[in-house]
Amino acid sequence: MRPITFLPPVAQKPVPSRWACVDASVTCRRCHHEWPDGDPAYQMACRGCGAPAGQPCCRPEGGNERVCFQRDQDARRAGLLIPCEGLSWDGRHDKPLTLSLSHSSDARAVLSGAPPARRFAA
C-alpha cells in the first residue's frame, strides 16, 4: 500500500495583465468627445483605489481600463472634465483605455479582465 501524499495548493490564476498608454488619445463612446493627450482624469491621484497621478487605476478585481468613479468625480470638480452630454445617468464619460498584449516604453501595466483590442493586440 502506497502512502497518501498531498499536493501543495494550486496558486490562484493571476488577473490578466495588459498594457496601456495613459497619454494616448481617448474618445468618449457616448458623446464622442476626444482628448488627444489622454484622459484628463489621470492627472489626478485616485481616491478610490489609491493609484498615483499618471497611473491607471489598480482595483484588485480588475476592470482597470476604466478610471474609478472617485477619480472622474475629482477631475470634474477640478474643471478637467465636463459632464458627458451623451446618454449617461451619472454624467460620466465612457472612455476606456486601449489595451495591448505587448509592452512599449511609455505603456503602463493594467490589471484587467477585458481582452485587448483586436486591432492593437500584438
Q: Is there a domain that residue 12 lies in?
A: no
Closest CA to 120 of 111, 66, 61, 107: 107
pTM: 0.73
In 3D, which of 28, 42, 45 has the Cα closest to residue 88? 28
Does 17 map to a domain?
A: no
Domain that holds residue 86: 25-113
pLDDT per residue as tens digits for the range 60-85: 877 788 889 999 999 999 999 999 98
pLDDT tens profile 24-58? 899 999 999 999 999 999 999 999 899 999 999 98
Within a domain: residue 1? no
Report whether pLDDT(90) > 70.
Answer: yes
